[in-house]
Chains A and B, each alone.
Chain A
Amino acid sequence: MPQIFHPSANTLARASIFGGAFVALGAVLVTHMVIRSPYQTEVHVVKSQPVPFSHEHHVRGLGIDCRYCHTSVEESSFAGLPPTYTCMSCHSQIWTDSPMLAPVRESLALDRPLEWNRIHDVPDYTYFNHAIHVNKGVGCYSCHGRVDLMPLAWKEESMSMGWCLECHRNPEKHLRPREEIYNLEWSVDKDQEAVKAFVTREADAESKEFLMEDDYVSQEELGQLLAAMYEVPTLGHNTPLTNCAVCHR
């Protein structure tokens, strides 16, 4: 009886066992990478808008405060997009003939809102609240990045649940004084002197001594002080921020 398989089948069999393992492992890795890639999360992906609105120009160039347009961010769960009237409060006077702004003028004339394309769209079963974050010391920067450097807006963070929970578990890594919420350039290192002044002003003697021990206040140290001041539940607190009911009502 002739042999069924050529001797090369031995190599083939061995290779297929190893290959199979690698294919399986590779499939898992590729899936892992794809669901975390910009393809899925849209991080750093610029979407087209009816008007090419530049945060860079309006915030950095003109120094407009975030709340001038996003008016409800301190009171409402929804930060809000400015209505056409807000745009026209300036653009009825300047760049009145700009073709770029034609949709804005049309919107006012026809009393039809501009249809912006939403960049940060969490699912509707997630009840995100802007006001609580802004009032408890989370700056715009922590979630939206350097908006003042974005010619066209993009998403800086994935807005995935794991990313939210990371901060809800360790909020002290991101807390900042309420005065600096809208300051996109602020950081503990850059504004160390101001931070020290803040600690000197706000902390009681004992915690001040502890925080300023090495003549440097780190983000974690400041965060702990702020968490206590603003009553932000940190890890081990009896009402943790990681409870389902916090976001998934």
Chain B
Amino acid sequence: MASENDQTGRTGAAELPIIGPGHTFATVSDKLTAVVLLDRIRKSWVLGLAISFAFVMLFLMSVTVLFLKGTGIWGLNVPVMWGFAIVNFVWWIGIGHAGTLISAILLLLRQEWRTSINRFAEAMTLFAVACAGMFPILHLGRPWVFYWLMPYPNTMALWPQFRSPLVFDVFAVSTYATVSLLFWYVGLLPDLANLRDRAKNKIAQLIYGVMSMGWRGSARHWARYQTSYLLLAGLATPLVVSVHTIVSYDFAVSVVPGWHTTVFPPYFVAGAIFSGFAMVLTLAIPLRAVYDLKDFITDRHLDNMAKVMLATGLIVAYGYLMEDFIAWYGENEYEFFMMLGPGRPFGPYWAFYWALIACNIVIPQLLWFKFARRNVIVLWLISILVNVGMWLERFIIVVTSLSQDFVPANWQEYTPTFWDWSLYLGTIGVFFCLLFLFIRVLPAIAISEMQELAYEVDHRKNLGNDGHGKSNSSHA
């Protein structure tokens, strides 16, 4: 079991395999298409879908009440005009980023371990962006005129203000959603064709047949597929970085102490990847247990993801440190108050602040140790705590900076109401509902890429053994 790869020297001293032993083209395909095509509807799946659907209902109810009564149903008040809606927007969009990182950046870096997690990480991106994309519209006082944010010739002769980062957000998020969807769909084409060919049911054949757009797997198809996939990865990579940078501009471009910080763009991006990987782990661990996918999502994957989480977590910690250092070094009394005084650490939200430090900085340090990375339960708990911590980070940034800024007569705390919470929990329901549906109708792991991986691993093994690149299955 240990180290089939290090004989070639290509992947270094890998201690854990990247794919379970003995897999061929057929076994990979059988196993992964079975989840979609053959598997009976599982009780756990139905239960999960039912629970998340209940939260979708909560979401719809919250939105209905919001549209009927206005944003006054939230706990927003004059100094704190951005509350949960923006906190959750940034949180969700951050979660989405790991999916693109895994599928695009790791593809450009030719990391083989991306293969088994990229598909559902991309799906996670899409669903997280769907949740995120709703908040900028829902938190508008007049959501029905949201389209005024788009530049189109209109009878008012009006255009959006291109100097506002909130307008950049429209372009960033819509482009991100479109490119992520395309990237995900292009990646799905060969797998949809696989499902089409294996489906026994006529309706399933038709649906997968239409969706696979006549994929025949010819050499020409594959050559063009590889090119376009790589190009999309090359496009998606700067997108990930710029989208969350633009989200950080919502704050960094302002003059508010605690917001006007030049470290925000890289530190927000790092935070996004941090929380995104935490969410991938939170989802991957139960997924591989329930669907028995431990051959594909191996401990090696969890280990690598934990390492990325640790690395980005350290960048985030550096971000906090820099904010505090500059607050001290800069000698601006407002910033000092916010960062080191009664603003964040010793103010009305001190408990949130210290919980954030514990979740994002202290606890992830366990990931330095192998036992934490290898122990699935510990890793899962850490990943959940990081999700909580990254939510707290956005809460602290948004709320503390607004509630106590330049004019003390303008200080007011923000207390979320039921409708703040219900909308947040509702989007979590939307996310999981989409995810459950995705797992059922589309392959959660990229089949063709796993087949390629199985072939390569096998090929390398044979090279090591007898010097001949003999594979134990045909390469169609």
Chain A residues with CB under 8 Å of chain B are 1, 4-5, 10, 13, 32, 35-36, 158, 160-163, 165-166
Contact = CB atoms under 8 A, between A and B. Distances in A.
Interface residues of B, number: 13
Q: Which of B157, B205, B214 has the most CB of A within 10 A?
A: B157
B156 interface: yes
A4 B203 CA distance: 10
B17 interface: no
Given A1-B197, A4-B206, 10 more contacts: A4-B196, A4-B205, A13-B214, A160-B155, A160-B156, A161-B155, A161-B156, A161-B157, A162-B156, A162-B157
B227 interface: no
Contact of A162 (B155, B197, B209): B155
Interface of B: 153-158, 196-197, 205-206, 209, 213-214
| List of 3 A-B pairs having minimum Cβ-Cβ separation, nearest first | A162-B157, A160-B155, A161-B156
A158 B158 CA distance: 16
Nearest to A5: B209
A166 B157 CA distance: 9
B157 A35 contact: no
Contacts of B209: 4-5
A173 B196 CA distance: 66
Contact of B155 (A4, A10, A35): A35
B196 to A, nearest CB: 7
Contact of B157 (A4, A32, A165): A165
Contacts of A1: 197
9 contacts: A1-B197, A4-B196, A5-B209, A13-B214, A161-B155, A161-B157, A162-B156, A162-B157, A165-B157
Nearest to A12: B210
A32 B156 CA distance: 13
B204 to A, nearest CB: 10
Given A4-B196, A4-B206, A162 B154 contact: yes
A162 B209 CA distance: 48
A73 B156 CA distance: 26
Nearest to A168: B157
A68 B214 CA distance: 76
A246 B283 CA distance: 55
A163 B154 CA distance: 11
Contacts of A161: 155-158
A36 B153 CA distance: 12
Contacts of A36: 155
Nearest to B157: A162
A93 to B, nearest CB: 46
A158 B214 contact: no
Contacts of B196: 4
B206 to A, nearest CB: 7
A158 B157 contact: no
A160 B158 CA distance: 11
A5 B208 CA distance: 12
Nearest to A28: B152
B169 to A, nearest CB: 23
B151 to A, nearest CB: 14
A12 B209 CA distance: 13
B290 to A, nearest CB: 31
A115 to B, nearest CB: 29
Contacts of B155: 35-36, 158, 160-163
B178 to A, nearest CB: 14
A5 B205 CA distance: 9
A40 to B, nearest CB: 9
A32 B206 CA distance: 37
B193 to A, nearest CB: 11
A156 B196 CA distance: 60
Nearest to B153: A32
